[in-house]
Structure 1
Amino acid sequence: MFKCTAAPKPKNIRKIIVDGNCLFRAFFFCLTGSEEHYLTTAACALLASAEHWGTEIEIPAFTDMCNCMVYVYKDHDSARNIKQYEGYGPRPRADRSPHDNADLTTFLLYNAHNHFEVVLSP
């Protein structure tokens, strides 16, 4: 879907607090536009833990729980790439109008040196 090969520009990235829960805070920001009360959302509360950082294991769990797609831009040691995760919930059907059943919601995240932030626009 996205043909970008370079990391997003800094002005297009929403900074997320660095506290070990950045992935969950980024998920919550994508869902609500805020990261302040991220543990009050069931999806984030189930995944987050004081002893556990969010990793590539939790991203597919989030996409399944929220029936969405997540694209993660990575920027480690100048090797730039994009990884796609897609939930396994109900899909749009051919017999429905696109206006009745929109495509999966898509969230864009940026992972720079094991810290997740939200991409506001690619």
Structure 2
Amino acid sequence: MSCIFCKIVNKEIASNIVYEDEKVVAFHDINPQAPYHILVVPKKHISTLLEVTEEDKELIGHIYLVINKIAKDIGFDERGYRVVVNCKEEAGQTIFHLHFHVLAGRTMGWPPG
């Protein structure tokens, strides 16, 4: 498979990992949009948010618990953070493996994008 995130999950490509367990891997984005920009990626290949199924709901809940743990461990939980999931090209998805952007360390604007 040529998916870059699958290659990171399989340790074929090095990354700056901040968290890993049997279901997910989290690492610093190589093109950060905030002082903290971490990607949380399920190890299971799911191309887009539209492909999440009933069987994935425990995995998606787990991802949000991992995001909370990372925020507390790194220390940006008190000030707050934003979680972004892009779905398909028009929303800005460029890598077709579901991933959650965790952005923190600066004030976020609204509306985004």
Q: Same fold (TM over 0.5)?
A: no
TM-score by length of 2: 0.29
Structure having the higher Rg: 1
